[in-house]
Structures are given as structure tokens and as C-alpha cells.
Chain A
């Protein structure tokens, strides 16, 4: 299928090498600044809220790894996020495992699920793919109500945070925040690495012209499955961390509306960019935070932003900024 508007990142001709180098420098400067903000933020904003936002930032980036690189729109990513949230929650609460092991288990569960769902859904492309991922996601939602350990609509509540590596008390807000920040940065760097690798370029090639890649001898389904599984795994890491941060894993985590939220985050920030989903996640989370108290209808606002994004703002915020900067 022809993919969603994304700007190819690696097609700069040699003549533009100089401007490319400047743009590279700009990138480094930007990331240095972002890192500073990341470190300083908890001294200005409530760290618990920030930690939760970072989990959704990672979730949005993980989702966008699939859509942005290979152009596959998953409508069921909450399944990976939420499954990992449940598994990690169970490991923390019932088995009393430390966070690092619980997160590992949750992420591994999401990876397994990702391979299984990926195997089934990439059998069809385009719109069928999207519909299948949504249906598969809904199965997980039903399971969350049926399985004995998920506690139906209550979910897993009052999940203990425990100590990181047996040393640092995660109930300390700053420890909690920096743990989430490290998870996020690690995940983001991994996605950055994947996107800029040969593997990432092959994925771009598949997005731009799948028949050509097949005729060049690439087994495109293997690549799609691999990136699907990676995306699911990272979404799982985000979900597992979120359970520890907010001490809750509930059916909301696996509901299609959560899949919808993460799509909006990517779309609002810019699907064709790496950093866009982060911006989108921050905005959507802030919006939900403020609207929750205002009594205004959150869903209506989210729906309206969705429509606006699609009709007038398809490149997203970061995409538009890039366009204005001429990159």
C-alpha cells in the first residue's frame, strides 16, 4: 500500500551535504536541550504526572515505529501496552517481584503477543491490516474481563512499586521519575537507532514501494513482522512502566480508546518524525489532565482535534516545524 505522508529522512543528495551537517548540529543542540529539560522538569512540575507522561511518550514512539517506518497503521496497540501493564502489575503485586523483573516479564509478554498478532495481521495489508489489529486488540480486552488474575473492571489496584535493584525506593517521587526517564530515553534511543539503520531504510523502502522491494528479493513480510514485534515490545515496556508509576492496571489500558489516543499522539506530533509522538503524547496527556477537572467532554475535544489534524494538519506539529525550517 502507499503509505501515510511521511518525509523520507535519508534521501538528501550530496549537494546538500553542508546543510545536512548544519541540520545534524541543530539536531544535537535540540537533543541536548531536550535532555536538560528532561532532567530539570521534576523540579517544576509534579514528578508523578511527568513520569506517567513519559510512559505515554514511549508508547507513542513505539506505535509510530510501525506507522512511521513501514506505514502500517495498527488500531490495536493498546493490547500490547495493556497486557504488559497487567503482567507487570501481577508480578509486582502478587509475586512480589522487583520492578526491573516485573517490567521484563511484562515486556516479554508483549513481545510474544506482538509476534503472534503480527504473524496474523501482516497477512493482509492496508485497511484490512488496521481492521484485523483492532479485532485482535478487542480479544485482549475481552480476556481482561475473563481471566482470573485481571479482576474484571476493577483491574489491578494499589500495585506496590517496591525498590529498584533492591536499592532505590520507587515511592520516592524523584527516583520514580528518573527511573521512568531512563526507560523512556533507552526506548527512544533504540527507536532512533532502528530508524536510522539499514533495517529502517528497508522498512522505508517497503512503505514507499512494496512491489519493488519484493522484486529486489526482500522478504517484506519478515521485515514487517520484525518491526511489528519490536513496536509491540516497546509498547509493552511503556505499559509495564506505567503500571509501576500509577500503581494501576485496568481494562482502560487495553481498550480501543487507548489505541485511539496513541494514534492521536503520533498524528498530532507528526507521524513522519521521530520526536513528534513525544510532543503529541505530552499535549494529549496535558489535555486529558486539565479537561478531567474542567467538566468539559474529553472525548469531544479529542474527536475534534482528530478531525482537525486530519483535515488541516497532516504533518503534525513537529512535521510542520520541520517544513517551516525547510528540512
Chain B
């Protein structure tokens, strides 16, 4: 087996890991802050990708502005949905939040399938990021390096913002004890809306970055949320850093599996989840409640 193939698959694994990490991170913020299992997380990823496609094809707006505008659009839609629909189920059992976002996912995905059908639409790699580097042992396309770099920067940026800044401090407080936090003059309902926006914006951002790699289709992201679930179960909900590390590792392992045993590569994450559940039910970085 050539090293070219192995490293090639490892890069694919890293790319996938990047998307898993961005989506899981957003997912973890939402579940921590709002107690909502956002099944529609993959839908916002699709919206991010579709947003950039629409910007390009309807308005002639290219990749770089789309990288900001499209996640922003996804965040605005997310915040609108949170404010009007999702916030109505906070006082109920968490199951209802999960089912509500499932319904929203079906609705949004169904709408896009209805209007755009399921065929993939290409999205060009931005000019500045075409070509690649010959590393000797392998050829690394520039765009892929960019995706991994951005994912790492955004993941750790988000982690830093949550752990070290004033807004992160407020978010952590609201996650831990929302009622009391309100008594300290903090508008927690608005903060929840904001947190939901941030969470889905990360997914939308991943979607924009995915657009040039995978083709843009209403079906993209439909199954992604299941991988996110597995990441969260493996990593445990306790730590943000834990879920980032887990996401990248699982992506890499999936890439490796493609080299060793291609038929089973899409199962490897779930097999790992099984093993973790049997050995350490709380997850690798989680705490047993």
C-alpha cells in the first residue's frame, strides 16, 4: 500500500473530523445551554452550504463573503426558530425539544428537496485556494489544508471564548444555573437565543467550507447528526475540549479504516461508540452523574 493512499485517507479523515468537530461543538453548546438535542444541526450545515451556493448563483457573491454571510443567515434563522418555537418547550421534558427539532429538520430538508431536488450542485474552490503542496510523501490540496486549519482555529477560538472571556463566563453561568443567573441582572432568555445562534452558526460555517469539497445538496448533513450523536456519546458531554478532540480522532480513525477495511469504514465510529459504552458508559471525558 502506498504512503500516498494512507496519507490521502488520513487527510480525508482530518477533513471529516473538522466537520464533526465544528458541528459537535455547536451541538454541545446548544445542549449544555438550552437542554435541547438539536437534531437539526446537520440541517444548518446544509443551509450553510446552500446559502453560499445561492449567494453565488443568485447574487454573484463569492466564497469569502459567503464564509461570513451564510453562517450569519443560518444563525438568524436559528435564532428566529428558537425565539418563536423552540423556547416554548423548555419547561417540558427534553424529549420534546428533540422531537421538535426533528420536525424542523424534516420541514426544512423537505422544502429544499421540493424546490431543488436531491441532485448535488457543484461549488467552485475559491481561486486563492486552488492547487496544492507537494510534501514529498503526498500531495496536499491547498483547500483541504485550509479547511483543517480553519476548523482548528474556530474550535479552539470557541473554546477560548467560552473558558476565558466575559461572554463565555456568562454562558457558563447560565448553563449551570439559569434562574439564579437571571437574578444577577443577566437576560438569560436572550442569552439562550444567542447561544443557539452561535451553535448553528458553527454548523453553517462548516457547511460553507464543505461546499467546494462535497457537492451542495438538500440531503447533505442528513446523516451527519447521527455521527455527532456518536461523538457526543464517546466524548461525554462534560467537556468542550473533550468533544473537539473526540471529533478529530474519530474522523482520523474513520480515515484509517478506509485504508485498512474500506467496507466497514462508515461503521467504525459506531463500533467505537459501542466499545466506549460498554467500557466507560459516561464517555471518555464525561462524568458519571
Interface residues of A (CB under 8 A from B): 1-5, 73, 120, 123-124, 126-128, 130-132, 134-136, 138-139, 142-143, 146, 256, 260, 263, 267, 297-307, 309-311, 314
Contact = CB atoms under 8 A, between A and B. Distances in A.
A5 B94 CA distance: 11
A126 B267 CA distance: 24
B230 interface: yes
Contacts of A5: 92-93
Contact of B232 (A1, A131, A260, A311): A131
B253 to A, nearest CB: 15
Given A123-B281, A142-B267, A146-B264, 13 more contacts: A3-B93, A127-B98, A134-B229, A138-B270, A143-B267, A146-B267, A256-B226, A260-B102, A263-B102, A301-B110, A303-B107, A305-B103, A310-B89
Contacts of A136: 270, 274
Nearest to A298: B110
26 contacts: A4-B93, A120-B277, A124-B277, A127-B31, A127-B37, A127-B94, A127-B95, A130-B95, A130-B98, A131-B230, A131-B233, A135-B230, A135-B233, A136-B270, A138-B223, A138-B226, A138-B270, A263-B102, A297-B113, A297-B114, A302-B106, A303-B103, A306-B103, A306-B107, A311-B100, A314-B92
Contact of B107 (A123, A134, A267, A307): A307
Contacts of B89: 310-311
A158 B232 CA distance: 41
B169 interface: no
A300 B270 contact: no
B173 interface: no
B227 to A, nearest CB: 8
A267 B229 contact: no
Interface in B153-201: none
A4 B106 contact: no
Nearest to A73: B95
Contacts of B31: 127
Given A73-B95, A124-B277, A263-B99, A134 B226 contact: yes
B138 to A, nearest CB: 28
Contacts, number: 124
B109 interface: yes
Interface string B224-252: 00100110110000000000000000000
A298 B111 CA distance: 9
Contacts of B111: 297, 300
B263 to A, nearest CB: 6
Nearest to A305: B103
B103 A135 contact: no
Nearest to B278: A120
B31 to A, nearest CB: 8
B105 interface: yes
A73 B266 CA distance: 25
B125 interface: no
Contacts of B98: 73, 127, 130
Closest 9 CB pairs of A and B: A306-B103, A299-B110, A303-B107, A303-B106, A300-B110, A297-B114, A131-B229, A307-B103, A310-B100
Interface string B270-288: 1101100110010000000
Contact of B267 (A124, A139, A303, A304): A139
Nearest to B234: A135
Contacts of A128: 233
A132 B110 contact: no
A304 B107 contact: yes
B80 interface: no
Given A139-B267, A139-B270, A300 B114 contact: yes
A303 to B, nearest CB: 3
B88 interface: yes
B88 A124 contact: no
